[in-house]
Amino acid sequence: MKHFFRNILTLMLMLAVFECKQLGLEKEKTDNTPLFAGLAILANQRRATPITQAEIVSRYADLAFASYSDSVTAATSLKTAIDSLVGASIAADVATPTQANFEAARKAWLDARPWYLQTETFRFSNGPINEKLETRLPDAEVETLINAWPMDETFIDCVITNTATTAGLDEARLLNTNGLTTVANCTTFTDSAKNISLGWHAVEYLLWGIDTAGNTTSGNRVVTDFQGATANSVQQKRRQYLRVVTKLLVDHLTLIKDRWDSTKSNNYISGFKANTTKSMSDVFTGLSKFAKSEWGGERLKINTSNDQEDEHSCFADNTKADFHWDAQGVINIFSGTYKNLAGTTSNGAGLKDISGSLQSKLTTNLTETRDAFCLNVSGVNMTLDTTTCPTATNSITTKYDNMSAGDKTKLQTLQTLIGVTISNDIQAVGRSNGISFTAPTSVKE
């Protein structure tokens, strides 16, 4: 207790010096490092030792399991809504889906999406998301079966139209067509990377339909696209495709979640926690690459391409929310704090605990980046409501498709903040802690 009060006094003196400098009473250049050091001392007051890298690795692994568990739960709710819309099987096929169930399925997709987006920070860390977990497609990383993008929506239409029977649209068919350049009776598709038949965006397209260039709303799919009792009609096949692709989404998310589950045999999490040096390297490699080449790179490619296909969730017009929840995912790892699907918040060791003088800067930049993509949207059609956007630098107050020239300039500023400043600061934290990692070299890798 004696040491606690002594350190409180030390901190008060630091604050006094800091305040004098801020008021111009001290001519030396302001240096916040002593203040941050004092705050760190106070934060760890009741610990015998500072937070260790092993604790950060353990918390990162637990966050991965919690995040993927919530994503599976949310995706399962989406599957339940889809099953209500079109039936859980061909035998239980619903020939006349209702408008109410159609809207409920769309809402379930929008509600499930944030929980997956918060897992995207684990993407480039050599973890289960990058493994080839689908035994029926042994050469495919599971991420490409979950969130592949951009997507040529005409590819899905081609597969539906040119599969002979409804029953032919089974799991094997959807798996085996993913990434093909040739489908029987279809136009040849030259860009295999966009020939996506699976994942979040395939479900999104089926629920919303195409979002045309210059359109300021989401896609205009109508429920009648799924209605019709005629055997092997395009409507019946579309229903079958939707139910199968949604089931596969849940299955593939579950494969990743189980690898982070310490109770499962052949799990990944136990080895990850045991090898602190390698795991810290993977953490910093993944986070810096995600910030620079994906979140601040490929995702914002539309800034310069002006190609509708480069908008991340263009069919549902959910793109701004994608950026918001991507930022939250990074914050979760940095802060060690996570609010789960049930609304319970847990805390633990985070990268902030080893960030030294960069802690405050990273906290501010990550928070402002998240809040700049303000979630002032509501309802199935993603219409603007009266919610006040959080006060944030460069805040974008409209949906992505409604962005003005000024908003696009703000987005370019945010792109620099994410891809350069945040990425570089994350790398600086790694280097200052003697962690060896692979830094990204460009915004597209």
From first to last of its 445 residues, the chain has per-residue pLDDT tens of 444 444 444 444 444 444 443 333 333 333 443 444 444 444 444 556 899 999 999 999 999 999 999 999 999 999 999 999 999 999 999 999 999 999 999 999 999 999 999 999 999 999 999 999 999 999 999 999 999 888 888 899 999 999 999 999 999 999 999 988 778 777 666 677 788 999 999 999 999 998 765 556 678 899 999 999 999 999 999 999 999 999 999 999 999 999 999 999 999 999 999 999 999 999 999 999 999 988 888 877 776 666 666 677 888 888 889 999 999 999 999 999 999 999 999 999 999 999 999 999 999 999 999 999 888 777 666 666 666 777 777 888 888 888 888 888 898 899 999 999 999 999 999 999 999 999 887 655 4
Q: Are 242 and 174 in contact (CB under 8 A)?
A: no
Sign of CA dihedral 269, 272, 276, 281: negative
Query: For 126, phi and psi rounded to 5 degrees?
Result: 60, 35
CB-based burial, 92-131: b 16+ in 10 Å, e otherwise? ebbeebeeebbbbbbebbbebbbbbbbbbbbbbbbbbbbe
- Give Cα separations from 111 to 74, 101, 244 (angstroms): 7, 15, 20
8 — alpha (psi -120 to 50), left (phi > 0) or beta? alpha
What residues have CB less than 8 Å from 25, skipping those under 6 apart?
A: none
What residues have CB less than 8 Å from 202, skipping those under 6 apart?
A: 151, 156, 196, 245
Q: Are 74 and 176 in contact (CB under 8 A)?
A: no
Query: Can you tell me the distance from the alpha carbon of 438 to that of 419, in angstroms, rounded to the nearest whole number?
Result: 16
Domain ranges within the chain, ordered by starting residue: 2-43, 54-259, 275-432
Helix (H, G, I), strand (E, B) or coil at 377: strand
pTM of the model: 0.87
* Chain Cα centroid distance, residue 315: 17
Which residue spans within 366-412 are E strands per DSSP? Answer: 377-378, 383-384
